[in-house]
Amino acid sequence: MKQILVGFHAVQARLRVDPGSLKSVYFDSGRRDRRMGDFLKQAEEILGERLHAADAERLHKLTGHDRHQGVVALAEKMTVARTITEVVEDAESAQKKPLFLVLDGVTDPHNFGACLRVADGAGVDAVVIPKDRSASINATVSKVSSGAAEVMPVITVTNLVRSMKEMQEAGVWLIGTDDEATKSIYDIDLTGSIGIVMGAEGEGMRRLTKENCDELVRIPMQGVVSSLNVSVASGVCLYEALRQRLAKVSDKAAK
């Protein structure tokens, strides 16, 4: 099954991780700036005859819009989805604690793409989403994620609550976010095997999802705004987990 990759980040990420899956890459022949020059230098070496000059009309037909930055690719879909058990086992083999991001009901592709970008940056091992109540990876998600959608394992599950229980049985502690929670994200230990559970913007987590979390925390809000965008909230929680993990490694090295 083919997919369309749009923009520099998405195409360059695929060039790095799986260039063989790129069937055709089109670039705007009228764009002659440094960024395009650097891209072409990299792409020509790897793609050869799979790299094609195109005009604005051709690029628009491929994408359906003009927000493509002058770079569009046709590629085979990468299979980066794995099972929860494999992710946990791989983390343990690497002598590290797994970090999951669980998204319940994030249906907007821009939010989903931004969550994938944050997850990749914070070192998340996999993102878990429900099959029927979530955005799926498409050209918009790929572009917004700045290439993270090409490398981040996304595990799509039929029953989110059942999969949360599977994670718990594997030793993963599930932490959900709730504005009414007593504890703050900064009050808890995030250095173990952790799954951060985020709900849809506005609606939050569904009742059963919330009830099956091991712990609920809130993100402290100091101004008049009552909540954060789901991708921003994910970033706050995931980077606090990363900060704690790095600090723990640093403390061990100092002893």
| Cβ 54 vs Cβ 27: under 8 Å | yes
Rounded to an integer, what distance in angstroms lies between the CA atom of residue 84 and that of residue 117? 20
10 φ/ψ angles, rounded to the nearest 5 degrees:
-65, -45
* Residue found under tokens 């994670």: 167
Q: Reduced to 3 states, what is the DSSP secondary structure of residue 237?
A: helix
108 φ/ψ angles, rounded to the nearest 5 degrees:
-80, 125
Would the annotation count 219 as a binding residue? yes
DSSP-assigned letters across all residues of 226-244: ----HHHHHHHHHHHHHHH
Q: Which amino acid is at 183?
A: K
Q: What is the DSSP letter of 202?
A: T
Would the annotation count 7 as a binding residue? no
Would the annotation count 46 as a binding residue? no
**Residue list, annotated binding site for S-adenosyl-L-methionine:** 199, 219, 228
Annotated binding-site members: 199, 219, 228
